[in-house]
A and B are shown apart, each in its own frame.
Chain A
Amino acid sequence: MTAPAVEVRELVKRYPRAPVNAVDGVSFEVAAGEVFGLLGPNGAGKTTTVGVLTTRARPTSGSAAIGGVDVVRDPVGARRQLAVVPQRSNLDRSISIRDNLIFHAAYHGVPARVREARADELLDQFGLLERARSNPDFFSGGESQRVMIARALMHRPRVLFLDEPTTGLDPAARLFVWDRLRELRDAGVTLVLTTHDMHEAAALADRVGIMDHGRLLALDTPEALMRSLSGQSTLELTTSGPADGDVVAALAALEGVEGVERLQAGGEDGRGGAPPGAGALRVRLYLAGEAAPVVAPAAAVLAERGVALSNVKLGTPTLEDVFIHLTGRTLR
């Protein structure tokens, strides 16, 4: 019986003087070799959960273990098995990036003769060999991220934690990081990543846990989560003026519509196109089939009631839709 790579049971964390729990009774397991994504908006409790798992935050109650080692009872043992890639660079600026890798390995007791060879190998793999002697001060965000992942791998961790691994990176840098993370997964490293980017979660994770307000709302594969939403496609409608519940009921009665969800009007995420007026209605229809045939009947329903349509958006369900479905809010 091997222990799961990560095990969290009824984890609660309340910061001193905070009115609510930052993490509020979260439980999950991550199997060895799995890529696990924690998806949620800022302040959902993802980073705090990872903070407890990486021995940097003390839980208020509940337990957390890495490879069967309890992080509270044996933090030193847990640290041996894990590595952390933070969102913001924490590279040692007084030494070259190669020395960053080598000293990290030394802290973890990697023998001297192994350190250098491994550092060069990783620097090569991450496309950093030519700049091995440079100081981290001169590195871009994407380059720092690559150095930090390479550094984290120096002591061959069982579990690698990545906090928002590609936030703020340009598209090319982000794809490079994604490719390296897939290689790690193929090499059997367990990855736990936190992200508020649904594309990242869908692209990388075997399973995704959706968090909000310190709670784990759903946990499954991205496909299963998206399937859990009724329908194969979505149709999002925004009206320019006020509309009542009668309109929603009429839309729900249309053929092919499996579900209707009222969204927060205001569209601060920009998905709704032009900002709707006061009292404007924003709804998402979940459809059994294709969205296009439903556009005309839906527009007719609105026109019959004298409600003007300001925006129409056709789509297939995404993890973000799952999140909206679960919380009634957008991710950002």
Chain B
Amino acid sequence: MTAAADPAPLEVVSQRGAFLAVLHRDLYVTWRELPAFLAQVILQPLFLLFVFGKVLGSLGYTQRDYADLLFPGLLALTAVITGMQALAFPLVAEFGWTREIEDRLLAPMPTSYVAAEKVVFATLRAVAATVLMMPIGVLVLGSIPWRWSALPLFAAGVVLGSLVGAGFGLVVGTFVQPQRISLVFSLVFTPLLFTGCSQYPWPSLDRLRWFQVVTAANPMTYVSEALRGALVPSVPHIEPWVCLVVLAVSIAALLAVGVRGFYRRAFD
């Protein structure tokens, strides 16, 4: 009866300890697989940046301004997509065939902590990937738009964008059957990628009204617009406060649905 008789504060400490131990495990694995992590995270935005920002510009198809407009959009893309991948893929495997998650579900902490750890880890990974895009941008484009005064808005946009991605990942990772994951990923991934306003500013779409409505439904649009508002405010963009409110609501909704899905998978 010793364990059961522990006073409550100790219990809270040990539950937090279990949470941190699981997070430590994820960071440890990431550290050991660092080259794979970097390749997975960097390659896609690097090519987008190179082709759209550099090649098309050099060939004269786009103006120099376009790279400045594109760059915040690619940061948004990196945050959302990395967050989603970092959560959905491992989760599907762990619930599906490796069953690795069972050892963590049996750790002495509430099941919601296991889901929360997944979200925290995916968010950390996505923030790291997005920050990593800054030096890559300098390298590929020569210079990137930057305003120190907009740092708080920029940081909020990156963190909320990463959380949106993690939220998508939790929903996809818990609701999709393992054998369907590649199909679902292309069904979710591609539309998300191209309707998220990463390659064009949202207000400029009023010439294409129906597409503007479609893109307004993608939370990633508000990440792109918030980061554009932070880095290139001269480009017309959605008001930053609107972006932050929409993102907060989207994150709450995605996490609510995702945690429900997580419980459904965790318990018989």
A interface residues, Cβ below 8 angstroms from B: 2-3, 15, 48, 51, 54-58, 67-69, 74-77, 79-84, 86, 88-95, 99, 103-104, 106-109, 151
Contacts and interface: CB of A to CB of B under 8 A. Distances in A.
A76 B11 contact: yes
Given A86-B99, A90-B98, A95-B29, A3 B108 contact: no
Interface in B215-268: 266-268
Nearest to B10: A109
5 contacts: A58-B268, A68-B1, A69-B4, A77-B3, A92-B100
A86 B102 CA distance: 9
B107 interface: yes
Contacts of A3: 1
B99 A51 contact: no
Interface stretch (B17-25, B71-79, B168-176): B17-25
B15 interface: yes
Given A86-B102, A106-B21, 4 more contacts: A67-B3, A80-B3, A92-B25, A108-B107
A67 B1 CA distance: 7
Contacts of B1: 2-3, 67-68
Contact of B267 (A57, A95, A151): A57
Nearest to B110: A76
Contact of A76 (B15, B29, B99, B104): B15
A67 B4 contact: yes
B18 A92 contact: no
A15 B264 CA distance: 12
B110 A103 contact: no
Contacts of A80: 3-4, 108
B109 interface: yes
Given A81-B3, A90-B98, A104-B103, A109 B108 contact: yes
Interface of B: 1, 3-4, 11, 14-15, 17-18, 21-22, 24-25, 28-29, 32-33, 98-100, 102-111, 266-268
Contacts of B102: 56, 84, 86, 90
A55 B33 CA distance: 33
B21 A107 contact: yes
A303 to B, nearest CB: 55
**What is the interface of chain B mostly: helix, strand, loop, or mixed?**
helix
Contacts of B104: 107
B108 A76 contact: yes
A293 to B, nearest CB: 53
A77 B268 contact: no
Nearest to B114: A107
B37 to A, nearest CB: 12
B100 A93 contact: yes
A15 B268 contact: yes
A107 B267 contact: no
A106 B108 CA distance: 11
B108 A79 contact: yes
Contacts of B21: 103, 106-107, 109
A104 to B, nearest CB: 6
Nearest to B99: A90
B266 to A, nearest CB: 8
Given A48-B268, A86-B102, A94-B29, A68 B108 contact: no
A56 B105 contact: yes
A324 B238 CA distance: 74
A161 B103 CA distance: 13
Nearest to B33: A94
A95 B4 contact: no
Contacts of A76: 11, 15, 108-110
A115 to B, nearest CB: 10
Most buried by A among B32, B33, B102: B102
A299 B219 CA distance: 82
Given A68-B4, A80-B3, A57 B268 contact: yes
A1 B221 CA distance: 63
B118 to A, nearest CB: 14
Nearest to B102: A90
Contact of B99 (A58, A83, A88, A104): A88
Contacts of A93: 98, 100
Nearest to B113: A76
Contacts of B98: 90, 93
B107 to A, nearest CB: 4
Contacts of A99: 28
Contact of A79 (B24, B29, B32, B106): B106
Contacts of B11: 76
Contacts of B32: 94-95
Contacts of A67: 1, 3-4
A95 to B, nearest CB: 6
Given A56-B267, A92-B25, A95-B28, A108 B99 contact: no
Contact of A108 (B100, B108, B111): B108
Nearest to B17: A109
A329 B161 CA distance: 59
